[in-house]
Structure formats: structure tokens, C-alpha cells
Amino acid sequence: MTIMNTTTQPRTPGGYTFEDGFDADFGTTPTTPEDIRKGAHIVNGGEAQFTCPACHGTGQFKAYTGRYVGPCFKCKGKGNITKGQNAAIKGKATKAANIAQWAADHAAEITYMRKRADKGNHFYAGMLEKLAEWGKLTENQLALVTRDIAKDAEFFAKREAAAPVIPTAAIQALFDKATEKLTKTAIFRTTEITINKAPGTGQNPGALYVKTTGDKTYCGKIVDGKFIKKWGAPDVTEALQKVAADPTAEAIAYARKFKACCCCGKTLRDPVSVLAVVGPVCGPRWGLDHLRMAAAEMLAEEKAAEEGGAA
């Protein structure tokens, strides 16, 4: 009589035996003892194990110097993590990558919001807080920022088109001469306004900034021969026109009123400097040494006349 083997393999909740193979989480039929143990663990209801990305399977947390600090905080020193933990780590990495990509795609909008917030706009300060919390803006929020950027661009374009033209050739010649030898910001002073050149590495390279002489209120800037007035600032267009027409005359007027050099602002004491309205250092720097030469000749003539009369 033939004896039939009626022994049956225990079946897993999934409905198959260990001999049936393994599910997609594990892969194909294992060949090594380690793979067999992992496969048996999964078939018997366990979770798939993945190498811990924090410790690379060592189960140890080490400092950048290689010194052992303690067990890995992600896998608790086991070296492996579960499928759920692995999915959570991947999800977190994907979220971070998506946030970084969104920020890169909308760098202009983020820069605009920061500028508005830095100038005291509470709405955009709140928007930046939401951005930091959620990593990106909603479609409606982004549309609002885009609309404001377009409105500002239109406003500045109209303002620039209506800006008065300033013939800056004479003024620019002074600053070109001065910046060849000056390491600090060059400032040209008149009785009504002061003018200084914007740094070459700033937001407005080549521009000339204009302030009032008394309280140093910022009035605007000269860009490409046009005076772009700051909203709400005093209108100094007429004073600029005077400087543009004859900067030397304006320098003389400043020195006579304040008894100081129009370039450095220091008090003038030397007779030649007082008469020339510019000091011995600033004269050559600003291309105004012709004033000092003329003053020296005038004083020499006066002295000679006095000596001749005395003789």
C-alpha cells in the first residue's frame, strides 16, 4: 500500500507557504542563509528590514572624527529599520527636495517678499512665516505676490520715464577722478545737497546718491542721466541742475558758507586752502588743483605788491 505524505506546510496569512516563494517586498527565492532567515521572518508575519541610512548598518553613531558616541538614534543600535521607517525617511527626503525645488523655482518671488517685509510690510512678514512653516505658498498666495511684482514694475517704469534728465558729465568727471585715488566713499558737498557714488558691488553700481546737506535726508539717485526721486523726499532737482552746470561754482559757494572743504568737509585754515576753497589733499584727488594754483598765484601777487609798497 502506498503511503501518501499528508503533512502540510503552515500557510501564512497571505495564503502561501514558505516553499511557495516570497512576496514582492523580499524579491526572488533566497540563496544565502542570511536571505533565507530574512525571507522566513517576512513569511512568518515579520516586516522587511532595510539597512539604516544613518549608521549604514553599523548600529553606531559616530562623530565626524570617527569617535563612537553611542547607539544610532534611528535604528536604536540594530543596524536595520522597518519598511515603515524606511518609507518615512524617503518621504521626508522627498518633501525636503520638493521644498528646495519650489524655492529655486520661485526665487524672485521670495526675494520680493523679503524686501517688502524688511521695509516694514506686516502682510509679507506673515507670508514669510507661512512659507517657513509649510515650505511653499498656495496658488492664490503666489498669484498675489506675482500681481504685486507686476504692479511695482509698472510703477517704477512710469516713474523712471517721468524722471528729469540731469546732464551729469561734469559731475561724473569729478567722481571718476576722485575714485581713482580714494578707497572710501567719495562725497561732493554743496550748500543744498551732497552727492556720493554708489559702490560698484552694490545694488546700483555707477549710480549717484543725493542727500540734503543739512539733515542728510536721502532724496533719490541719478541713474543713466536721470534723477529718480524717492517718494516723499524733498525735490532737489533745481540744486542738481546747478551742480551739473558748474560744480566748481557750487564747491566755492559751499566752502565760503561753511568755511570747510567741499570734498572732505574739514575746516579750511591754510590761506591758500581758504582762498581756493579746497585743501591740498582733496584738490589733486578731485581734479580741483587748478583752484589751488590760482589761489597761490593770487596770494603771491598780493604779497609782492605789499612788499613793493613797503619798499
Helices 107-118 and 139-162 pack at an angle, to 10 degrees, of 70
- Dig out the grid coordinates for 227 from the structure: 534723477
What local confidence, expressed as pLDDT, does residue 31 receive?
Answer: 63
What local confidence, expressed as pLDDT, does residue 14 receive?
Answer: 43
What local confidence, expressed as pLDDT, does residue 113 receive?
Answer: 92
How does pLDDT run along the chain (311 residues), one tens digit per residue? 444 444 444 444 444 444 444 444 444 555 666 666 665 555 444 556 778 887 887 888 888 788 888 888 888 888 887 777 777 778 888 888 888 899 899 999 999 999 999 988 999 999 899 888 888 888 999 999 999 999 988 888 887 777 777 887 888 887 877 766 665 677 888 999 999 888 777 778 878 899 999 889 999 998 888 888 888 888 898 999 888 888 888 888 888 888 888 888 888 888 888 888 888 888 888 878 888 888 888 888 877 777 766 55
Yes or no: say if 30 and 39 are a contact pair by the CB < 8 Å rule.
yes
CA–CA dist 249, 72 (Å, integer): 77
Q: Where are the alpha helices (DSSP H) in the chain?
A: 33-43, 83-105, 107-118, 122-134, 139-162, 169-178, 237-245, 247-258, 271-276, 282-286, 289-310
What local confidence, expressed as pLDDT, does residue 219 receive?
Answer: 92
C-alpha of 194 from chain center:
28
What local confidence, expressed as pLDDT, does residue 41 receive?
Answer: 53
* Burial of 179 from C-beta contacts in 10 A (0-12 / 13-18 / 19+): middle
What local confidence, expressed as pLDDT, does residue 25 receive?
Answer: 45
What local confidence, expressed as pLDDT, does residue 6 receive?
Answer: 46
Residue from 140, 199, 181, 152 nearest 263 by CA: 181
What local confidence, expressed as pLDDT, does residue 107 receive?
Answer: 92
pTM for this predicted structure: 0.52
